Structure 1
Amino acid sequence: MTDAFLGSAVTYSCNEGYRLIGKDQRRCEISGKTVRWSGDVPICQNIPCLPPPDIPHGRHSGTFTSDFVYGSVVTYRCDKGYTLVGEDFIYCTTKDEKNGEWSGPAPECQKTGKQCSYPPAIANGKHSGQGRVFTIGTSVTYSCDPGYTLMGRAQINCTASKFWTDPIPHCKVSSAGCRVPEVWHGKISDLKPAYSPGETLLVECDPGYTLKSTQEAQCQDDGTWAPAVPICEPGSHTIVPQVLGTLGAALLFVLLAVIGRIICWKKDGKCHANANTPPNAADTTKQEFSSVL
């Protein structure tokens, strides 16, 4: 603000990670024989967090730090013989722009050995346990890629014996599929002999034809295509020449027929209307064409 008049007001705010201490607004007012701003100038203070929680059989990087403010990060590590379960770090954040809190709960340190090995991978599928530690009692869920069906139970559990429950499911090609569609005045890019649910096809139209709808269609679980297989239609720039060409040929045929009927040969000053061949030169002294218009 460069100029302020009596009654003017200013509002204060703090940058991200800071909280305002004091009133956020001041006014230009009369005080005795002078004009001054009301109240005191507020201050901006770092938003603080309480010390991060300690964890049994582990420690964090902020052990020797006394103040934790907005943006502070601490990482956790476990003692030898223990495995970290959960995110290895938390950070100081805020929800109300006044009070700080940690981004999440602290991880845990569990004794190594009380867990299952990494869940078995399956062909054409995956499980939900990517990048985790699998302690006793935890479970993972399997799912298949598009075009495949899960055979067996989707969920397996880590048992007290530190083995996964049997059997492990597997993915099988879906019995349902989509027939290869017929595309008039076009072709299918990278044509396959068959399409499984989830697979897509692309249609390209022949020169002079354009797509009526989207270029892509996807095979559905019920054996249908969605959206419908694209259709190639004649483009507007090709219809006109075709029409004009047809009309032109018809008009030319009619014109030639009319001209053929009205052309005659003159012989001895007389017009012979049905003269498909001209008279012999020996029989005439003078020949000329005359058209009746």
Structure 2
Amino acid sequence: MRVAAVLCPPPLPPVNGRLVDEGPHYQVGSTVQFTCNERHQLVGESSIVCTETGFWSHPPPFCKARCPYPGDPEHGRIAPVKFSYEPGDHLKVTCATGYVVKMEARSPQCRVDGTWSEKVPECRSYRDV
């Protein structure tokens, strides 16, 4: 009598992400890797393994929107400094002595799609304002 091979169900790709290698069948020991689209960060395990129980070793990860570090303006600094920013985060620009941000400049905010609402304001010399 032949025993049927244990298979895991196909994992769903995360929203704003994808499976790196998709196979038609996932037998015990099969590994699936996940990646996220640009401006998104993987939360959870980046790879999962099909176990002998027919279930995956971990739940599939998800992809969360993130804004990249935009860099400091010339003659200034942004705060807070992070590798990446979550939607809703705001940036504050502090200029070096003798420089100032225009009064009408708005504070950049990280949007839900992983982009900044505004460019980082420039620091301008007091003489040019």
What's the TM-score once normalised by structure 1's chain length? 0.25
Relative contact order (C-alpha < 8 Å, sep 6+): which is higher? 2
Give the structure with the higher percent strand: 1
What's the TM-score once normalised by structure 2's chain length? 0.49
- The structure whose Rg is larger is 1
